[in-house]
Structure 1
Amino acid sequence: MLWVRKILVQAAALASAVLILPCGPAQAAVELSLYSRELGSQFPHGFVRIEGTLDRGGERIDASYGFTATLVSPAILFGSVRGKVEPVGEGYIRSSDPHFALTLTDSEYDNVMAAVVRWQALRQPSYNLNRRNCVHFVADVAASLGMAAEVPRGMARRPRAFLDSLVRTNRAWLQQRAARILREPSEEREERRGRDPEADGA
Protein backbone atom coordinates (compact mmCIF):
# COMPACT_ATOMS: atom_id res chain seq x y z
CA MET A 1 0.00 0.00 0.00
CA LEU A 2 1.99 2.90 -1.41
CA TRP A 3 -0.10 5.64 0.19
CA VAL A 4 0.40 4.17 3.64
CA ARG A 5 4.18 4.11 3.10
CA LYS A 6 4.10 7.79 2.06
CA ILE A 7 2.19 8.79 5.18
CA LEU A 8 4.67 6.93 7.40
CA VAL A 9 7.63 8.61 5.67
CA GLN A 10 6.04 12.06 6.13
CA ALA A 11 5.29 11.35 9.78
CA ALA A 12 8.88 10.27 10.39
CA ALA A 13 10.19 13.45 8.73
CA LEU A 14 7.90 15.61 10.84
CA ALA A 15 9.00 13.86 14.03
CA SER A 16 12.66 14.43 13.12
CA ALA A 17 12.00 18.13 12.52
CA VAL A 18 10.33 18.46 15.91
CA LEU A 19 13.29 16.79 17.62
CA ILE A 20 15.80 19.31 16.22
CA LEU A 21 13.77 22.39 17.14
CA PRO A 22 15.31 24.52 19.94
CA CYS A 23 13.94 23.42 23.26
CA GLY A 24 15.01 26.44 25.35
CA PRO A 25 12.56 28.76 27.10
CA ALA A 26 10.60 31.42 25.25
CA GLN A 27 12.24 34.83 24.84
CA ALA A 28 12.30 36.53 28.24
CA ALA A 29 12.06 40.26 28.80
CA VAL A 30 11.75 42.63 31.73
CA GLU A 31 10.20 46.04 31.08
CA LEU A 32 10.77 49.17 33.16
CA SER A 33 8.14 51.94 33.10
CA LEU A 34 8.46 55.39 34.67
CA TYR A 35 5.32 57.07 36.01
CA SER A 36 4.17 60.38 37.43
CA ARG A 37 1.01 61.42 39.21
CA GLU A 38 -0.16 64.99 39.56
CA LEU A 39 -1.98 66.70 42.39
CA GLY A 40 -5.20 65.04 43.51
CA SER A 41 -6.11 63.81 46.95
CA GLN A 42 -2.36 63.22 47.52
CA PHE A 43 0.94 64.90 46.73
CA PRO A 44 2.42 64.59 43.22
CA HIS A 45 4.54 61.46 42.99
CA GLY A 46 7.01 59.74 40.70
CA PHE A 47 7.74 56.01 40.71
CA VAL A 48 8.88 53.06 38.60
CA ARG A 49 7.32 49.74 37.70
CA ILE A 50 9.15 46.58 36.59
CA GLU A 51 7.35 43.69 34.92
CA GLY A 52 8.41 40.62 32.99
CA THR A 53 10.62 37.55 33.14
CA LEU A 54 14.37 37.43 33.65
CA ASP A 55 16.46 35.53 31.12
CA ARG A 56 18.36 33.83 33.90
CA GLY A 57 16.24 31.27 35.68
CA GLY A 58 12.94 32.53 34.25
CA GLU A 59 12.04 34.44 37.43
CA ARG A 60 8.81 36.41 37.05
CA ILE A 61 9.06 40.07 38.12
CA ASP A 62 6.13 42.34 38.99
CA ALA A 63 7.13 45.17 41.31
CA SER A 64 6.86 48.92 41.74
CA TYR A 65 9.00 51.33 43.75
CA GLY A 66 8.64 54.91 44.87
CA PHE A 67 10.40 56.99 47.51
CA THR A 68 8.40 59.03 49.99
CA ALA A 69 8.28 60.33 53.54
CA THR A 70 7.35 57.71 56.10
CA LEU A 71 4.81 60.17 57.49
CA VAL A 72 3.55 63.03 55.35
CA SER A 73 3.15 65.95 57.75
CA PRO A 74 4.05 69.65 57.92
CA ALA A 75 7.48 68.55 59.17
CA ILE A 76 8.56 67.85 55.58
CA LEU A 77 8.42 71.59 54.90
CA PHE A 78 11.09 72.36 57.48
CA GLY A 79 13.82 69.79 56.89
CA SER A 80 14.69 66.12 56.52
CA VAL A 81 12.35 63.43 57.84
CA ARG A 82 12.30 59.65 57.80
CA GLY A 83 11.84 58.22 54.32
CA LYS A 84 11.12 54.85 52.73
CA VAL A 85 10.99 53.02 49.43
CA GLU A 86 7.54 51.51 49.07
CA PRO A 87 5.46 49.68 46.45
CA VAL A 88 2.63 51.39 44.63
CA GLY A 89 -0.86 49.88 44.53
CA GLU A 90 -2.56 48.84 41.31
CA GLY A 91 -5.29 51.45 41.66
CA TYR A 92 -2.70 54.20 42.13
CA ILE A 93 -0.79 52.97 39.07
CA ARG A 94 -3.93 52.98 36.93
CA SER A 95 -4.62 56.61 37.86
CA SER A 96 -1.04 57.70 37.11
CA ASP A 97 0.67 58.60 33.83
CA PRO A 98 3.28 56.28 32.30
CA HIS A 99 5.88 58.34 30.43
CA PHE A 100 7.97 55.66 28.76
CA ALA A 101 8.84 51.97 28.95
CA LEU A 102 11.92 50.08 27.85
CA THR A 103 13.16 46.52 27.92
CA LEU A 104 16.00 45.72 30.32
CA THR A 105 18.73 43.15 30.10
CA ASP A 106 19.31 41.11 33.23
CA SER A 107 22.38 43.21 34.05
CA GLU A 108 20.37 46.43 33.66
CA TYR A 109 17.71 45.00 35.93
CA ASP A 110 20.48 44.37 38.46
CA ASN A 111 21.57 48.01 38.14
CA VAL A 112 18.03 49.22 38.78
CA MET A 113 17.66 46.99 41.81
CA ALA A 114 21.04 48.14 43.14
CA ALA A 115 19.71 51.71 42.99
CA VAL A 116 16.55 50.64 44.84
CA VAL A 117 18.62 48.93 47.54
CA ARG A 118 20.81 52.03 47.95
CA TRP A 119 17.73 54.13 48.63
CA GLN A 120 16.33 51.56 51.00
CA ALA A 121 19.58 51.68 52.97
CA LEU A 122 19.88 55.48 53.27
CA ARG A 123 20.67 56.78 56.73
CA GLN A 124 17.65 58.31 58.42
CA PRO A 125 16.24 60.89 58.22
CA SER A 126 16.53 60.18 54.48
CA TYR A 127 13.70 62.17 52.88
CA ASN A 128 14.10 65.83 52.02
CA LEU A 129 11.45 67.65 50.02
CA ASN A 130 14.01 69.72 48.14
CA ARG A 131 17.07 67.47 47.85
CA ARG A 132 16.03 63.81 48.14
CA ASN A 133 12.47 62.97 47.18
CA CYS A 134 10.58 60.81 44.68
CA VAL A 135 11.92 62.81 41.73
CA HIS A 136 15.52 62.24 42.80
CA PHE A 137 14.78 58.54 43.28
CA VAL A 138 13.38 58.17 39.75
CA ALA A 139 16.33 60.18 38.42
CA ASP A 140 18.77 57.80 40.11
CA VAL A 141 17.04 54.77 38.59
CA ALA A 142 17.26 56.38 35.14
CA ALA A 143 20.93 57.27 35.69
CA SER A 144 21.68 53.65 36.63
CA LEU A 145 20.80 52.75 33.03
CA GLY A 146 23.04 55.41 31.51
CA MET A 147 20.45 58.13 30.96
CA ALA A 148 21.25 61.81 31.46
CA ALA A 149 19.09 62.35 34.55
CA GLU A 150 20.16 65.48 36.36
CA VAL A 151 17.15 67.09 38.03
CA PRO A 152 16.77 70.59 36.51
CA ARG A 153 16.38 73.58 38.76
CA GLY A 154 12.73 74.07 39.64
CA MET A 155 11.68 70.46 38.91
CA ALA A 156 12.65 68.80 42.19
CA ARG A 157 9.02 68.80 43.33
CA ARG A 158 7.40 68.31 39.94
CA PRO A 159 7.49 64.63 38.86
CA ARG A 160 5.57 65.11 35.61
CA ALA A 161 7.69 68.07 34.53
CA PHE A 162 10.86 66.14 35.37
CA LEU A 163 9.84 63.03 33.44
CA ASP A 164 8.83 65.15 30.45
CA SER A 165 12.28 66.74 30.64
CA LEU A 166 13.91 63.31 30.95
CA VAL A 167 12.23 62.17 27.72
CA ARG A 168 13.24 65.35 25.86
CA THR A 169 16.85 65.14 27.06
CA ASN A 170 17.21 61.42 26.26
CA ARG A 171 15.08 61.20 23.11
CA ALA A 172 17.90 59.80 20.95
CA TRP A 173 18.93 57.31 23.64
CA LEU A 174 15.35 56.12 24.04
CA GLN A 175 14.92 55.73 20.29
CA GLN A 176 18.14 53.76 20.06
CA ARG A 177 16.80 51.46 22.77
CA ALA A 178 13.44 51.10 20.97
CA ALA A 179 11.72 52.43 24.09
CA ARG A 180 7.99 53.08 23.94
CA ILE A 181 7.14 56.74 24.55
CA LEU A 182 3.81 56.55 26.35
CA ARG A 183 3.35 60.27 27.03
CA GLU A 184 4.75 62.90 24.73
CA PRO A 185 6.33 65.74 26.72
CA SER A 186 4.40 68.97 26.94
CA GLU A 187 5.92 72.06 25.38
CA GLU A 188 8.85 73.48 27.32
CA ARG A 189 7.08 76.80 27.60
CA GLU A 190 4.41 75.03 29.62
CA GLU A 191 7.11 73.87 32.01
CA ARG A 192 8.54 77.40 32.33
CA ARG A 193 5.36 79.40 32.67
CA GLY A 194 5.02 81.34 35.93
CA ARG A 195 4.74 78.37 38.26
CA ASP A 196 6.22 78.35 41.70
CA PRO A 197 9.42 76.27 41.30
CA GLU A 198 8.82 74.99 44.82
CA ALA A 199 5.37 73.54 44.07
CA ASP A 200 4.68 70.56 46.34
CA GLY A 201 5.83 67.09 45.37
CA ALA A 202 6.36 63.69 46.94
Structure 2
Amino acid sequence: MGRLVALLLALFALAWSAGAAAEVRMSFHSFNGSVLFGRYPHAFIVLEGTLDETGAPIAENYGFTARSISTRILNGPVEHAIMTEDEAYLRKTNRHFTVPLTDAQYWRVRAEVARWRDAPGKYYDLDRRNCIHFVGAMARIAGLRVDYPRDMLRRPKKWLNHITLLNPQLGAKPVD
Protein backbone atom coordinates (compact mmCIF):
# COMPACT_ATOMS: atom_id res chain seq x y z
CA MET A 1 0.00 0.00 0.00
CA GLY A 2 2.84 2.40 0.88
CA ARG A 3 4.45 1.87 -2.52
CA LEU A 4 1.17 2.56 -4.30
CA VAL A 5 0.68 5.83 -2.41
CA ALA A 6 4.27 6.84 -3.10
CA LEU A 7 3.84 6.01 -6.80
CA LEU A 8 0.58 7.98 -7.02
CA LEU A 9 2.17 10.95 -5.25
CA ALA A 10 5.15 10.81 -7.59
CA LEU A 11 2.91 10.68 -10.66
CA PHE A 12 0.80 13.57 -9.34
CA ALA A 13 3.92 15.65 -8.65
CA LEU A 14 5.29 14.93 -12.11
CA ALA A 15 2.02 15.84 -13.80
CA TRP A 16 1.67 19.01 -11.73
CA SER A 17 5.22 20.20 -12.36
CA ALA A 18 5.00 19.50 -16.10
CA GLY A 19 1.72 21.41 -16.35
CA ALA A 20 3.01 24.31 -14.31
CA ALA A 21 6.16 24.60 -16.42
CA ALA A 22 4.30 24.71 -19.74
CA GLU A 23 3.56 28.38 -20.19
CA VAL A 24 4.55 31.11 -22.58
CA ARG A 25 5.19 34.53 -21.07
CA MET A 26 5.15 37.79 -23.00
CA SER A 27 7.30 40.60 -21.63
CA PHE A 28 7.02 44.22 -22.68
CA HIS A 29 10.31 46.07 -23.12
CA SER A 30 11.49 49.56 -23.90
CA PHE A 31 14.90 50.79 -24.95
CA ASN A 32 15.84 54.29 -23.85
CA GLY A 33 17.91 55.04 -26.93
CA SER A 34 19.13 58.41 -28.04
CA VAL A 35 18.16 60.46 -31.04
CA LEU A 36 21.74 61.77 -31.21
CA PHE A 37 23.78 58.67 -30.33
CA GLY A 38 23.15 55.15 -31.57
CA ARG A 39 19.67 53.70 -31.65
CA TYR A 40 16.37 55.46 -31.24
CA PRO A 41 13.98 54.75 -28.35
CA HIS A 42 12.06 51.56 -29.04
CA ALA A 43 9.34 49.25 -27.65
CA PHE A 44 9.10 45.54 -28.37
CA ILE A 45 7.94 42.20 -26.95
CA VAL A 46 9.79 39.11 -25.74
CA LEU A 47 8.15 35.67 -25.77
CA GLU A 48 9.64 32.96 -23.56
CA GLY A 49 8.54 29.65 -22.13
CA THR A 50 7.03 26.42 -23.35
CA LEU A 51 3.91 25.69 -25.34
CA ASP A 52 1.46 23.68 -23.28
CA GLU A 53 0.17 21.55 -26.15
CA THR A 54 3.49 20.45 -27.65
CA GLY A 55 6.14 21.26 -25.04
CA ALA A 56 8.03 23.24 -27.70
CA PRO A 57 10.38 25.83 -26.17
CA ILE A 58 9.74 29.47 -27.10
CA ALA A 59 12.47 32.14 -27.10
CA GLU A 60 11.52 34.96 -29.49
CA ASN A 61 11.30 38.73 -29.62
CA TYR A 62 9.68 41.10 -32.06
CA GLY A 63 9.68 44.82 -32.65
CA PHE A 64 8.26 46.97 -35.43
CA THR A 65 10.43 49.58 -37.09
CA ALA A 66 11.19 51.48 -40.24
CA ARG A 67 13.23 49.42 -42.70
CA SER A 68 15.81 52.22 -42.84
CA ILE A 69 16.26 55.30 -40.72
CA SER A 70 16.17 58.62 -42.55
CA THR A 71 14.45 61.99 -42.39
CA ARG A 72 11.69 60.53 -44.65
CA ILE A 73 10.21 59.05 -41.45
CA LEU A 74 9.16 62.58 -40.46
CA ASN A 75 7.08 63.04 -43.62
CA GLY A 76 4.74 60.08 -43.53
CA PRO A 77 4.67 56.33 -44.11
CA VAL A 78 7.89 54.50 -45.00
CA GLU A 79 8.82 50.86 -45.59
CA HIS A 80 8.61 48.73 -42.47
CA ALA A 81 10.27 45.70 -40.92
CA ILE A 82 9.86 43.33 -37.99
CA MET A 83 13.08 43.28 -36.04
CA THR A 84 14.48 40.72 -33.61
CA GLU A 85 17.18 41.52 -31.09
CA ASP A 86 20.18 39.64 -29.78
CA GLU A 87 20.81 38.83 -26.14
CA ALA A 88 23.29 41.70 -25.66
CA TYR A 89 20.66 44.25 -26.73
CA LEU A 90 17.98 42.65 -24.55
CA ARG A 91 20.18 43.12 -21.46
CA LYS A 92 20.24 46.89 -22.12
CA THR A 93 16.47 47.29 -22.16
CA ASN A 94 13.77 47.97 -19.56
CA ARG A 95 11.39 45.09 -18.88
CA HIS A 96 8.17 46.77 -17.76
CA PHE A 97 5.95 43.76 -17.05
CA THR A 98 5.28 40.17 -18.09
CA VAL A 99 1.99 38.37 -18.71
CA PRO A 100 1.23 34.68 -19.22
CA LEU A 101 -0.25 33.59 -22.54
CA THR A 102 -2.33 30.58 -23.43
CA ASP A 103 -1.19 28.63 -26.46
CA ALA A 104 -4.09 30.20 -28.39
CA GLN A 105 -2.94 33.72 -27.44
CA TYR A 106 0.64 32.87 -28.40
CA TRP A 107 -0.51 31.82 -31.87
CA ARG A 108 -2.64 34.98 -32.16
CA VAL A 109 0.45 37.05 -31.29
CA ARG A 110 2.47 35.21 -33.96
CA ALA A 111 -0.30 35.79 -36.53
CA GLU A 112 -0.42 39.49 -35.64
CA VAL A 113 3.37 39.76 -36.00
CA ALA A 114 3.03 38.20 -39.46
CA ARG A 115 0.25 40.65 -40.40
CA TRP A 116 2.44 43.62 -39.47
CA ARG A 117 5.49 42.09 -41.19
CA ASP A 118 3.61 41.22 -44.39
CA ALA A 119 1.53 44.40 -44.72
CA PRO A 120 1.87 45.73 -48.27
CA GLY A 121 3.52 49.01 -49.07
CA LYS A 122 4.80 51.59 -46.65
CA TYR A 123 3.30 50.63 -43.30
CA TYR A 124 5.55 52.34 -40.71
CA ASP A 125 4.31 55.78 -39.69
CA LEU A 126 5.98 57.60 -36.82
CA ASP A 127 2.69 58.93 -35.42
CA ARG A 128 0.13 56.34 -36.57
CA ARG A 129 1.84 52.93 -36.81
CA ASN A 130 5.13 52.73 -34.96
CA CYS A 131 6.67 50.32 -32.43
CA ILE A 132 4.26 51.54 -29.74
CA HIS A 133 1.20 50.71 -31.84
CA PHE A 134 2.68 47.28 -32.60
CA VAL A 135 3.30 46.52 -28.92
CA GLY A 136 -0.19 47.83 -28.10
CA ALA A 137 -1.71 45.35 -30.56
CA MET A 138 0.14 42.53 -28.77
CA ALA A 139 -0.99 43.83 -25.36
CA ARG A 140 -4.61 43.75 -26.48
CA ILE A 141 -4.25 40.08 -27.46
CA ALA A 142 -3.15 39.45 -23.87
CA GLY A 143 -6.30 41.22 -22.64
CA LEU A 144 -4.63 44.43 -21.48
CA ARG A 145 -6.15 47.88 -21.61
CA VAL A 146 -4.32 50.08 -24.14
CA ASP A 147 -4.54 53.63 -25.38
CA TYR A 148 -2.19 55.98 -27.20
CA PRO A 149 -1.86 59.46 -25.68
CA ARG A 150 -0.47 61.75 -28.36
CA ASP A 151 2.35 63.06 -26.15
CA MET A 152 3.69 59.50 -25.70
CA LEU A 153 3.74 58.28 -29.32
CA ARG A 154 7.50 58.80 -29.61
CA ARG A 155 8.35 57.89 -26.01
CA PRO A 156 8.22 54.09 -25.59
CA LYS A 157 9.35 53.99 -21.96
CA LYS A 158 6.84 56.64 -20.90
CA TRP A 159 4.10 54.88 -22.87
CA LEU A 160 4.80 51.45 -21.35
CA ASN A 161 4.79 53.07 -17.90
CA HIS A 162 1.38 54.49 -18.82
CA ILE A 163 0.15 51.03 -19.86
CA THR A 164 1.46 49.67 -16.55
CA LEU A 165 -0.72 52.18 -14.68
CA LEU A 166 -3.76 51.45 -16.91
CA ASN A 167 -3.51 47.79 -15.87
CA PRO A 168 -3.14 47.63 -12.08
CA GLN A 169 -3.94 43.89 -12.16
CA LEU A 170 -0.38 43.40 -13.40
CA GLY A 171 1.02 44.34 -10.00
CA ALA A 172 3.86 46.11 -11.82
CA LYS A 173 5.42 49.46 -11.07
CA PRO A 174 6.55 52.04 -13.63
CA VAL A 175 10.20 51.81 -14.65
CA ASP A 176 12.45 54.70 -13.58
Please tell me the TM-score bracket, short chain as reference.
0.7 to 0.9
Whether 2:121 is the aligned partner of 1:117: answer no
TM score, norm. by length of structure 2:
0.87
Q: How many residues align?
A: 168
Give, as a single letter, the amino acid of the residue that structure 2 aligns with 1:115. Answer: E
Q: 1:111: how far off?
A: 2.3
Which position in structure 2 is the counterpart of 1:18? Answer: 7
TM score, norm. by length of structure 1:
0.76
Whether 2:145 is the aligned partner of 1:148: answer yes
User: Counterparts of 1:53-72 in structure 2 under 5 Å?
Assistant: 53-72=50-69
Q: Distance in 1 between matches of 2:142 and 2:98?
A: 13
Confirm or deny: 8 A CA contact 2:31 2:92 kept in the other structure. yes
Confirm or deny: 8 A CA contact 1:156 1:162 kept in the other structure. yes
Give, as a single letter, the amino acid of the residue that structure 2 aligns with 1:14. Answer: R
Q: Distance in 2 between matches of 1:54 and 1:159?
A: 29
Whose helix proportion is higher, 1 or 2?
2
Greater radius of gyration (CA) = 1
Whether 2:39 is the aligned partner of 1:42: answer yes
Q: Distance in 2 between matches of 1:160 and 1:107?
A: 28
Q: Distance in 2 between matches of 1:155 and 1:67?
A: 17
**Following superposition, which runs of at least 4 residues in structure 1 exceed 6 angstroms of deviation?**
none
Give, as a single letter, the amino acid of the residue that structure 2 aligns with 1:97. Answer: N
Give, as a single letter, the amino acid of the residue that structure 1 aligns with 2:164. Answer: V
Whether 2:27 is the aligned partner of 1:33: answer yes
Q: 1:120: how far off?
A: 1.3
Q: 1:62: how far off?
A: 0.2
Confirm or deny: 8 A CA contact 2:94 2:175 kept in the other structure. no
Superposed CA RMSD: 1.9
- Where structure 2 has 5 or more consecutive residues not aligned to the other structure, the ranges are none
Q: Distance in 2 between matches of 1:68 and 1:79?
A: 14
